[in-house]
Amino acid sequence: MTDKLVLTQPDDWHIHVRSGNVMHTVIKPTAECFGRALIMPNLVPPVADVKQAKAYRDSILQALPQSSLFDPVMSLYLTDNTSLDTVRAAADCPHVCGFKLYPAGATTNSDSGVTSVSRIMPVLEAMAEHSLVLQVHGEVTDPHVDIFDRESEFIDQVLLPLRTEIPALKIVFEHITSRQAIDFVTEHENIGATITPHHLMYSRNDIFAGGIRPHYYCLPILKRRTHMLALLDAATSGSPKFFLGTDSAPHVRGKKESSCGCAGIYSAHTAIEFYAEVFESMDALDKLEAFASFYGADFYGMSRNTGKISLQKSSWEVPPFYQVEPENKNDDPCLWELVPLRAGETLRWKFVG
């Protein structure tokens, strides 16, 4: 039985690290384990141009020890008004690798997102010319479409036509959750997908197990168990189209445990351990390194990391919460607690450096 895993240092190709005190709490585990992480731009206001991305990247680096080698890779937030100049500037910036498409209203802080893909076709064409990658939150926003069908509708309404119109545009279908998304990615060229730990471990039943559980609420929402099983097969298949992206999306307790709680699951505290457990449960630990450390870098046309990380087989308990320093001194510190995925539960693997 394997009790130690040594992997090429992995990358997290989809993460929200926020800003301010939340960022100071969440950035450390990612920077210690991962060589690079693709930083999502859905701050308020959004990170929509190269100048803002550089400032945001600097603030992330400043929150880390000077000795850290962690490399934040930036994605710019597409809006209806993104200009061709912004695309050119992004192509010239070594720290920006692409643009994030949030359909307006699809998820947390997506209000400034794109109202219709037809409006940004010249920008997408310019991105393809400059080999910039489009990262897609793939859900339609029509409130009449059932929340569990929004990803598959997005494939039919947006991705299929887009694939035909700009075949050269590299697309990452982010945090896929359904069999339909797996099939679409498998069948088309120039498209890869990230898969989160939570979509590999949970189904929609977990949101409602014995009551409503806001810490399992994320977007795209957890789907039926059959989709989870299909995702497990895809992630462990050895296909280079599927790679690691946690979509770790921390919101403090006050924003999660509320009558209208935010979407997002905080998983960065022990991300690689989650994937190790999942791959082990599929008897596929031999496929973990490529999923976590090779396929994403290859898709993005970046060199693979050369460092190594180790995980040890040992049982340990995830803390019930991580304390974020309240930004408003009058706030109850409880409201600023971050409840991580698997809070208080025992894990089988531990990242040891």
Q: Is 247 a catalytic residue?
A: yes
Single-letter code of the amino acid located at 261: G
Determine if 278 is a binding residue for ligand NCD (CB under 6 A).
no
User: For ligand NCD, which is the closer residue by CB, 247 or 277?
Assistant: 247
Q: Cα–Cα distance between 286 and 309 in angstroms, integer? A: 15
224 three-state secondary structure: coil
Tokens found for residue 208: 């409602």
Q: Which of 11, 12, 49, 247 is catalytic?
A: 247
Annotate 244-275 with DSSP letters as a single string. E---B----HHHHSSTTPPP-B--GGGHHHHH
Task: Please report, as residue ranges, which positions from 250 to 269 form the binding site for ligand NCD (by CB under 6 A).
Answer: 263-264
When binding is defined by CB under 6 A, the residue of 219, 231, 285, 290 that contacts ligand NCD is 219
Determine if 42 is a binding residue for ligand NCD (CB under 6 A).
yes
Determine if 137 is a binding residue for ligand NCD (CB under 6 A).
yes
As measured in angstroms, the least distance from the Cβ of 156 to ligand NCD is: 20
Q: Which residue has the tokens 């498209």?
A: 191
As measured in angstroms, the least distance from the Cβ of 18 to ligand NCD is: 8
Q: Cα–Cα distance between 194 and 292 in angstroms, integer? A: 10
User: For ligand NCD, which is the closer residue by CB, 105 or 122?
Assistant: 105
**256 binding partner (options Zn ion, ligand NCD, none; Cβ < 5 to 8 Å by kind):** none
Q: Which range of residues in 3-11, 106-114, 121-129, 232-240 is near ligand NCD by CB under 6 A?
A: 106-114
Q: Cα–Cα distance between 35 and 13 in angstroms, integer? A: 11
Q: Cα–Cα distance between 349 and 13 in angstroms, integer? A: 22
User: For ligand NCD, which is the closer residue by CB, 166 or 227?
Assistant: 227
By DSSP bridging, strand 346-351 and strand 337-338 are unpaired
Distances (CA, A) of 10 to 51, 71, 114, 342: 28, 12, 31, 21
How many CB atoms are located within 10 Å of the residue 249 CB? 27
User: For ligand NCD, which is the closer residue by CB, 5 or 78?
Assistant: 78
Q: Which range of residues in 68-76, 103-111, 128-136, 150-158 is near ligand NCD by CB under 6 A?
A: 103-111
Which chain residues interact with ligand NCD by CB under 6 A?
16, 42, 107-109, 137, 218-219, 247, 249, 263-264
Active site residues: 247
